[in-house]
Structure 1
């Protein structure tokens, strides 16, 4: 059964974050775990899937999963080195 972010305890979130951090780069994770890692909402991830430019994902049945290596690569590509980069 899938648990929504707002229904998780802080311990649940911490456990999921630790599991993500210690996993291999090929491991797949549900959008809730990725939202915890990126400190965003699942709605933000859904919006990025619809509009493009987000993290590559796979659908398994109705479930959306992300590969850890894709999440890390996306995060690295979002890194801003200075405010001049924001204008481009």
Structure 2
């Protein structure tokens, strides 16, 4: 499995991808590279999350993986904490 990584992409292009994600409607699909960039993780982390059955829903059509913006934002919100004691 060859996951595309955005490490070699220029910072201005990364910023454009993030801005397009933020400005998009909530029902728009995004590839795992853009979602990984938004969440601050790698595409490999998202792949592992899919295998582990994480709370982040995704759609798979053929080989293509897509995430709805609304699901990414809901996942991000569910992971937000106010105190480290919540983990105990």
TM over 0.5: yes
Q: Which residue does the alignment assign to 1:8?
A: 9
Give 1 or 2: higher helix fraction: 1
Which ranges of 4 or more aligned residues in structure 1 deviate by more than 6 Å? none
1:78 to 2:79 alignment: yes
* d(CA) in 2 for partners of 1:57, 1:69: 11
Q: Distance in 2 between matches of 1:27 and 1:56?
A: 14
Q: What residue number does 1:59 align with?
A: 60
Q: Which runs of 5+ in 1 are unaligned?
A: none
Alpha-carbon separation, structure 1, partners of 2:13 and 2:64? 20
Alignment RMSD (CA, Å):
1.4
Looking at structure 1, the residues matched to 4 and 75 of structure 2 have their Cα atoms a distance apart, in angstroms, of 25
Provide the rounded CA distance (Å) in 1 between the counterparts of 2:4 and 2:86: 38
In the comparison of the two structures, how many residue pairs are matched? 86
Question: Structure 2 vs 1, CA of residues 3 and 49 (structure 1 numbering), >3 Å: closer, same or farther?
Answer: closer
Task: Please give the TM-score of this superposition, normalised by the length of structure 1.
Answer: 0.91
1:33 corresponds to = 34
Which residues of structure 2 form unaligned runs of 5+?
A: none
| Cα deviation, residue 13, structure 1 | 0.7
| SS, match of residue 47 in structure 2 | helix
